[in-house]
Chain A
């Protein structure tokens, strides 16, 4: 990474639990970038991120909880303005959806990887994020379509 080119600033976002575990399975894809991670639920996820990367804990929210949703968006706005990411990547769910939309507003390239748990169909966040994802991915071959979601592999 010392060929003079700027390291891309990467913001990687996932909810706590399975979403986070899947993001961690893909950590190597970010190696060499200037990384910041965003998660919900567990501050000690900080220990599993690469050295030098920044970490933010945000509020968890779902569609039933407007107040927490607004709080989450405010937190993400602050983070995005501070990080100014070139790339936003998420394995879901709600925090990733909002992060991709906010990142897109500031011109970032965006990657959505729907959770491998969604065998039957894409998650709600995954379907809603379609227009805002430059890479719109499912981890199931049978859910892939020619115009997306696309399949490039699975974490398991």
Chain B
């Protein structure tokens, strides 16, 4: 793939340098999150030696320092995810699962409903739980984000997925689907 970037948005700068440390920002496919995107772009401006790429959503704001796309197809997203050294994201479960599956350290900033970033505060709850997991740093503002990015080299990858719990779920669902067995009465 010569161009890992989605079809949306204006022309971009040269393609990413393969093999260089990449910070990959993703705010999910549904709603932009400019507070986070701007914070990452501000960090990118001060660290020109680091590759930073952001999937910033459909928003009027345009990054000055990092490469970006509005929305990417799933294949392009996966390509950048695999290349990334650290993922920066909203507290969305898609990203959390992707990061865990690919063993990528994750920095998350939960969206806040009071700033109009989400319909409700469920990301705050998600973040409180995420904080208890290794490999995931939770930040709440630009200062905390920059501090976490400055320490990106020391971040450890998260635990793999808890396959035991998932396998149990699959087994119960199979019994219900194929044998009509209800786990509860």
The binding surface of chain A is classed by DSSP as loop
A137–B24 Cα distance when bound, in Å, is 33
**Complex contacts, A123 vs chain B, CB 8 Å:** 122
Instruction: Choose from A8, A17, A20, A120 the contact partner of B177 (Cβ within 8 Å).
Output: A8
Q: Is B11 an interface position by the 8 A CB rule?
A: no
Interface segment among A65-73, A74-82, A97-105, A145-153: the answer is: A145-153
Q: Are B125 and A33 in contact (CB under 8 A)?
A: no
Instruction: Choose from A41, A116, A150 the contact partner of B29 (Cβ within 8 Å).
Output: A41
Interface centre among B94, B119, B174 (most CB of A within 10 A): B94
Q: Are B92 and A153 in contact (CB under 8 A)?
A: no
Q: Is A2 an interface position by the 8 A CB rule?
A: no
Q: Are B122 and A153 in contact (CB under 8 A)?
A: no
A18-B94 CB under 8 A given contacts A8-B178, A29-B173, A119-B129: yes
Instruction: Choose from B75, B119, B126, B176 the contact partner of A111 (Cβ within 8 Å).
Output: B176
Q: Are A118 and B29 in contact (CB under 8 A)?
A: no
**Complex contacts, A19 vs chain B, CB 8 Å:** 94
For the complex formed, measure the closest distance between the CB of B11 and the CB atoms of chain A, giving whole angstroms.
Answer: 23
For the complex formed, measure the closest distance between the CB of A116 and the CB atoms of chain B, giving whole angstroms.
Answer: 6
A32–B28 Cα distance when bound, in Å, is 32
For the complex formed, measure the closest distance between the CB of A4 and the CB atoms of chain B, giving whole angstroms.
Answer: 14
A33-B177 CB under 8 A given contacts A25-B97, A153-B165, A154-B165: yes
Q: Are B29 and A155 in contact (CB under 8 A)?
A: no
Instruction: Choose from B96, B121, B183, B184 the contact partner of A156 (Cβ within 8 Å).
Output: B96
Q: Is B59 an interface position by the 8 A CB rule?
A: no
For the complex formed, measure the closest distance between the CB of B67 and the CB atoms of chain A, giving whole angstroms.
Answer: 21
Q: Mark B54-80, 1 if CB is under 8 A from A, else 0.
A: 000000000000000000011100000
A21-B182 CB under 8 A given contacts A119-B125, A152-B169: no
Q: Are B93 and A116 in contact (CB under 8 A)?
A: yes
Question: In chain B between 139 and 185, which residues have their CB closer than 8 angstroms to a CB of chain A?
Answer: 161-162, 165-170, 172-174, 176-178, 180, 182-184
A117-B92 CB under 8 A given contacts A17-B28, A29-B169: yes
Since A30-B177, A152-B173, A155-B166 are in contact, a sample of 15 more A-B pairs with Cβ atoms closer than 8 Å, ordered by chain A residue number, is A17-B29, A18-B92, A18-B94, A19-B94, A21-B98, A42-B73, A47-B74, A117-B91, A117-B92, A117-B122, A123-B122, A153-B165, A155-B161, A156-B161, A156-B162
Q: Are B162 and A118 in contact (CB under 8 A)?
A: no
Task: Pull 10 A–B residue pairs with CB atoms less than 8 Å apart, ordered by A.
Answer: A20-B94, A25-B166, A33-B178, A42-B73, A89-B177, A119-B122, A134-B182, A150-B184, A152-B173, A154-B162
